[in-house]
Amino acid sequence: MVGSIQSEIKQSKPLTPEQEVILTVQRTADSFQRRVVEVLKPHGISGTQYNVLRILRGAGKDGLPCGAIAERMVTRDPDITRLLDRLDKMGFIARERGQRDRRVVTTTITDAGLKLLKQLDKPVQEVGTALVRNLSKTQMQQLVELLDLARSSAG
């Protein structure tokens, strides 16, 4: 049953519309993320690691420096280097120092990383479809536009 968060929270002071929006978005994001994690967990990777692998697949064979990966992340990870270390140790990425500037380390996805993503593409898509099955295509587009508008206020 779909209901407002207001009815689920017992407190003496009612929530403002702004508070209700924030809590609803947070609860929805958490619920969606938990479902995706269920798909990823048997493969030994986290949602953040999956995000990095998808970014690197999109970057192609040239890869990306660490800072560019961090900029494209869905959720910010304060220690991107450690995150990349774990993926490197698992064999899903490779890193190489630049020839011109030795300070720049370029990260690429390996064949093992590509293989893992190929295995995960369909199950992740199926979860995504299931999570929004109650919305029409028009409602999905409206929701995306509203969330983009709200996020633009966050800076």
Q: What is the pLDDT of residues 5-19, one digit of tens each?
A: 555 555 568 889 999
Task: Catalogue all structural domains in the chain, each as residue range(s) with its CATH number.
Answer: 35-125 (1.10.10.10)
Sheet holding 64-65, edge to edge: 64-65, 105-109, 93-97
Q: Is the pLDDT of residue 54 over 70?
A: yes
State the alpha helices, DSSP H only, in the chain.
Answer: 5-8, 17-40, 47-59, 66-72, 80-89, 111-131, 137-154
* Nearest alpha-carbon partner for 87 in 124, 44, 122: 44
Predicted confidence (pLDDT) per residue in 63-118, tens digit: 999 889 999 998 887 789 899 999 999 999 999 987 777 778 899 999 999 999 99
Considering the entire predicted model, what is its pTM? 0.83
Q: Is the pLDDT of residue 46 over 80?
A: yes
